[in-house]
Structure 1
């Protein structure tokens, strides 16, 4: 049970939520913040009954993250690889040469929407009913990010075929039930909000239809309560249980095709949106379907998350990043006590190394990691490294992500770069050698 927020914090969070509901003219809005494994605060505004935690709203594209978890479970079991072409598992589509990983990260060049009627308001059928053609491939593979609902419909079909049962049955049994999300269902069940469109020029509403999206369900079909969405936020914070390994969850959050050292950006990993907001990295997903808007994002460094659900088609300002900022300002996290720990390499291997004339510092990090980066106040490449079974190290992020690091007595060998103890040490194996005249003042 999470410790509730302080009364003053609760008022601040409620004030922001109330303002967003009023200014966005949402018929109803429920929101909450998560920390320490559960909801620390929640509220409902507008026409929502109590308990507001147990009213279903449509999640929209948050369903994509659930689908991605099911795909990555198959990968972790060895049933597929992210580099597999789709045709290996779902033959007969024009995306046969596009990889599973490209579909997960919206880099497959698939059309944004499925052919036929607007799938978000029109009942759908099977993959065959879509009658996919070459024209639904709108970009070259891995050329650029292009958000694709169709791509996740194909991933839902992949999950169903490899498991031998429907996408809905798979995600319910393998993701939702183990996480305790018993009030998350493909169609509304029990107490559920009616979806509405709000007129742009008058304070009147129009009911939006509810339907089964068929093969496109994997892109936006699920309904959930605030309580269940909070459980999903806890999962995204790292409490993955038997659903997914923490390492795979971390892999999902790695931005594809974006430089995360930039001060502000928005990117996509493997079924997860990754946002840089006010110097914080948030991971999760937003969702929208006719009649509904939703959001779940977590700050893994801070150990907090935010969730929101509303029954309006459009017009609502993002709420979750503001709630997380309010919580961070009102109740800053008290970090763990520093304690001495032995370094993962001998002390003499740490400290200053030089790539050519440029100094870099190799230092130990908690958890048995190493960090190589520029000196304080200087710009340059930086990465963390994890030890491999063979005694080498591998980059986890930054410029050297995936690159091997080998530590010798007189040099570091990093992806063909050689770092030496002094600038261009002539005794070390510097590529191209060192001019025998040495350092001079011509």
Structure 2
């Protein structure tokens, strides 16, 4: 790690990565509970979920770039703390609205501000902490943490609502609310962890936001082990455009491109697997079209649909977890362009194999999930290593991280909106073909 960065700092970063991804995956995967059991939506859940995610990412596009640029002025730690405070409040409020528009949409957009801060800070802080060597391995650790977070979401948190609903799923809405409150409490606790666990840069802080030069004359410890960085503070808009122009370096441009693909792939896995399995059970009359708690067999069938969906998603995340060290090794030993090609090929095989299948419950789908997981983690690890390379100036790493998150958000917008339309109007495996 970089000089001045302790193991506690690195551990806080990895835990921050874990829960940022965990809450993001959870919200998308468990949103069907809110739509069905809290608001009572019966038809068109694919389009609604896709639209909510689209508007979420529309806000995140600009928020991520702003948070990243802001962190170059105030430091990473304040932005991390703000991200978890916002996510915690959003999770507490998510089951309050009784309509999709504007109630649920407004809460979703508020939550998106917190996720945007966390994802952009993951990239920037990773670059600060990883030093000049073995960025691939450090990125792999972040990938493992992200994978564990996704597994926690799909294997534990998404399964909590039926488990907390009481005997025979008698009170699903209660289980949904308790689960969201639990996640909100964890997020608020994480704000405290990030405040005390992350490295504090004495040359950055809230009080320096409107200054044009440093009063300390010090050098940042977030310079990735490079020579001390003089604190001449450029305006925020200048930092932003420097992040955009960094793409003139083909390595940064490749990082932005792979970030786009990785985020699009992740939203398809976390959102549309659950929707497809749920809709499959509804179409085959294994699950009611409206929330009902009067027929025990139907309730068991619905619970089975969620179990299968979370298992499929979990298999993808297990393979992602196992593949993270492999792609970290490849990123350090081979050309990162080669790593990107390998990851893209694996993801292509998995998505087309699963999307063109006849049913989401077929046994071969577990194989396709393995390919999807490997492709997803490969693009994530490689793009993180590329975005935090030594060729990125230390004073604009936050801005580069913000642009990286911005283009990733564009990938999510495309995959969620187009995927939602394809899900409802063409074929329920359509989002995976995209």
User: TM bucket by the smaller chain?
Assistant: under 0.3
- Structure with higher strand content: 1
Higher RCO (CA-CA < 8 Å; seq separation 6+): 2
Q: TM-score, normalization: structure 2?
A: 0.24
